[in-house]
Amino acid sequence: MTNYILKEGDSSLAPILVLHSTGGDEHQLVPLAEELFPNHPFLSIRGRISEQGINRYFKLKGPGFTKENFDLVSLEKEAQWLTKEVERLGQHYQLNLSKLNVIGYSNGANMALYMQLKGLFKFEKILAFHAMQLTEVGRPVLSDESKVFLTHADNDPIVSRENLEELSTDLEKTKCQLEIFKAKFGHQLSDEEISAAKKWLAK
């Protein structure tokens, strides 16, 4: 059973996929989705991995959010699952998936970018708060009309500056329009980056 929230919203507006962080759920980013995209339809889906009661979009092999601990088999399997669920639920609720945007924070942002880079899904706009490169994507799939808003803080204890550079390099290969916002508060989702995201959306 998939845990999700669907808000119907105004069907003439682009639908939004909402993906939570590690330990969050489908409710976590609903206020953010409503703030950034008022009246838009949205679909918020909970990751189906639960590790000691902590929800995620793919498994870890050990403690700590390091590349060695990311279970890449699970990542691929869960990315396929999530793609199918987005398509299934999107069709069921008649969402215009060709216009789908995504908001993701941390684990959810990582999953959204992985889906995009691997060509599983083509999002129009991606708001990726505190995302990181999970694994090298040799040849990211071209998505030259996509727009990506990425946030990072130099004092982030999870995402290093080197990792941000690796992720940016992958994204630049896709020719998407990338904007990186430098936040100040580690891995936290802060008011300043939400304001910056609003400005970016208003451009």
Q: CA–CA separation, 181 vs 200, rounded Å?
A: 10
Instruction: Find out whether 51 and 24 touch, Cβ atoms under 8 Å.
Output: no
The minimum distance between CB 148 and ligand MLT, in angstroms, equals: 16
> Which span sits near ligand MLT by CB under 6 A: 29-37, 103-111, 143-151, 163-171?
103-111
- Within residues 146-185, the interface with ligand MLT by CB under 6 A covers 158
The minimum distance between CB 38 and ligand MLT, in angstroms, equals: 27
Q: Is 106 in the site for ligand MLT (CB under 6 A)?
A: yes
The minimum distance between CB 59 and ligand MLT, in angstroms, equals: 10
Q: Which residues are paired to 4 by β-bridges?
A: 45
Q: Is 65 in the site for ligand MLT (CB under 6 A)?
A: yes
The minimum distance between CB 169 and ligand MLT, in angstroms, equals: 18
The minimum distance between CB 92 and ligand MLT, in angstroms, equals: 28
What single-letter amino acid sits at 101?
N
Q: Is 107 in the site for ligand MLT (CB under 6 A)?
A: yes
Q: Which of 110, 133, 143, 151 binds ligand MLT (CB under 6 A)?
A: 110
Q: Which of 43, 117, 126, 132 binds ligand MLT (CB under 6 A)?
A: 132
Place of tokens 């498994």: 59
Residue closest to 178 by CA, chosen among 190, 165, 187, 191? 165
Nearer to ligand MLT, 5 or 72 (CB): 72
Interface residues with ligand MLT (CB under 6 A) are: 21-22, 65, 106-107, 110, 132, 158
